[in-house]
Every structure is written in structure tokens, then in C-alpha cells.
Amino acid sequence: MEYRLLGRSGLKISTLTMGTMTIGGGGKFAQVGNVGLDEARRYVDMCLDAGVNLIDTADIYSTGGSEEIIGDILGGKRKNGVLVATKARFNMGPGPNDGGLSRHHLIAACEASLRRLKTDVIDLYQVHEWDGQTPLEETMEALDTLVHHGKVRYIGCSNYSGWHIMKALGISALDRRHRFVSQQIHYTLEAREAEYELLPISIDQGLGVLVWSPLAGGLLSGKHRRNQTPDGTRQLAGWNEPPIRDEERLWKIVDMLVAIAGERGVSPAQVALAWLIDRKGVTSVIIGGRKEEQFRDNLAAASLKLTDEERELLDAVSLPPVLYPYWHQLRSAKDRLGEADLSLLGPHV
């Protein structure tokens, strides 16, 4: 297992992170998995034995159930130096202040997560989504307070847009507060929009990148093929993340994954994960599942290295159209540079 620095920090995390959205099974997350304590304990041990040192959860996963199970497994002891990340933002109760990124909710949510996780400190505390009502100054001040009080070691964001991130970093710098060290994003061979702004921002601003749902909710695992969707999958259960807007492009990507996997004697899921692990800017890829064989298969991706030819084939079949303003920049760059080094404009050109 390889370990990489998390953004502009000294914290080293494994290139694979254990995800826990399938643990617990309460509320809306019953659709994606209901892994119980005994199963989860096996999966945690399996990940730690493979060298994974970060477990990622959130208070909203099974309405606290995922955090509680992780807390029971770790038992207040951080065996093998395991790190824990969690998130807050979504409503955890019926009250008007039971959600959002206000000082009131963030501090209360953090204290509740600490109790459920049975720990004194959260290694990486992430705001789960943008809050367009709370002033960002208030959110960043609350996160800074949690760090100064020793309840949180590092802070990050999840599902932010480019301007959200830059505004937050700007406020942190202006007020001399702790800044985000990472962002958590959705990024796969099927969904490469992050390459337009989120990944360049991470590289430029020194942010680590954690990738959630790297197999597109299982669509890139190899189980789904043209005219062949297995029973009991997330997609059939009504879980529609990510949205698929070009189904033919999806199946072309799956066909290529299957072809490369067959040549290498590995699973399509391992090929998709290996592609992500080596993408510029990516720090760690979050793996999860409902079965032991899913974790075992995903963990093997840490040691799979794709050839340049394989990566080029995957890049070619998955490349989306160049979006504005990149097509405009590409045109003007060609006028200035001819066909010289256009990589200055980003990965899509």
C-alpha cells in the first residue's frame, strides 16, 4: 500500500480508504446496504491488514448508525494507527437547527459524532455539502474552533464547486484560520467533470483529493453489461447516483474495462480503481461494499499498475466533450502555440 500526504499537511493516508456508507442500513441508506457489526468488523480488519489507514464515514450514514458501528469496532482504541474521517451538514433531526453549517449545528454535530465514534478526536472533519444560507465566515470560524479545542485535527470539504472552495480558502487566509486540507469528490471514468476545475484547484491550492463512489455505484464493477443488469444492485434499488446522461458512452467504457481486465486476468473494478489511483491530484480512492469479496477485490487494485497503452485506451473511450470556456481557450491557445504543449490548459486538451 502506498501512502500520500493529504494536501498541504503532514498527514499521510493510504491510496485506498475504507468507505462505510453501506454500514448500518438505516433510513435512505437501507437501499445501499445494511452491513451489521460482525460483518463490518471483518471488513475493517481486512482493510487494515491490507494497509488501509483511513476509514471514512458521515453522521448521516444510517442516521448515525455507521458511526456507532465504527466506534464499537475501534472501541476507543486506534489500532494500527487507523485514522477516522467523518462529515456533517445534513439534517439529523426535525428541528430547524438540526442541519446546515451554522456554528450551532457544526459544534453540536461534531460532539455527537465523537460520542458515536467513541473517540476524543476526529482526524478529518468534512463539511458534507455547501450551505447557501450560513455565512461562510461563520462555518470556517466554527471549524477553526473545533481544531483549536482539540476535537478535530484537520478539516475538509465534500461536494463543493470550484468557487465554493476558493471562497472558503480565501476567508481562511484573510482571517488566519485553519484551511481545508482536502476535498471529497465524485470522479470516475464515467464522470470526469472534476478535471475541469476541481482537480486543477486541488493541485494549485495544495488540497488532497478523496474520491467517493469510484465505481459509479457499481456500474463500473463489471457486474453491469449491455442489456444485463443483475438483481439486488443499487441502481435497481432506486439509487440514482451518479446520473447517467449518455448510456452508450457508459457501455463503451465498460466494454473497454472488461477487455483490459480480461487481458490482465483481473476484475474490471480493479482496472477502474487503478486508473483513478494514478490520476494526477488524487490522494485516495474510497472503496466500499456489502460483501467480503467486494472489499477483497477492490483492495487488490492498490497493487495493479496499468500500462501507458491501457491508460490511453481508457482515456480515449471516456473523454467527455470539451466544455466552455475550455473550448474557447483551446482555440486561442492553438493560435498562439500551434500544436505545441497544450497541457497547460488542463487534462481535456
Q: How many CB atoms lie within 10 A of CB 315?
A: 13
Query: Could you say which of 3, 43, 61, 326 is catalytic?
Result: 61
Residue 112 CA to residue 114 CA, distance in Å, equals 5
Which 3 state secondary structure label does DSSP give 228?
strand
C-alpha cell at 101: 453549517
Contacts of 129 (CB under 8 A, 6+ apart): 89, 90, 158, 159, 160
C-alpha cell at 72: 464499537
61 part of the active site = yes
C-alpha cell at 255: 466494454
∠299-13-129 over CA atoms, to 5°?
Answer: 95
| Phi, psi dihedrals of residue 132, rounded to the nearest 5° | -80, 0
Q: Are 208 and 6 contacting, i.e. CB atoms less than 8 angstroms apart?
A: yes
∠268-273-277 over CA atoms, to 5°?
Answer: 150
Q: How many CB atoms lie within 10 A of CB 38?
A: 9
C-alpha cell at 312: 490511453
Rounded to an integer, what is the distance from CA 188 to the centroid of its chain?
10
| Phi, psi dihedrals of residue 338, rounded to the nearest 5° | 65, -135
Q: Are strands 83-88 and 152-158 parallel, antiparallel or unpaired?
A: unpaired
Q: What are the residue numbers of the active site?
A: 61
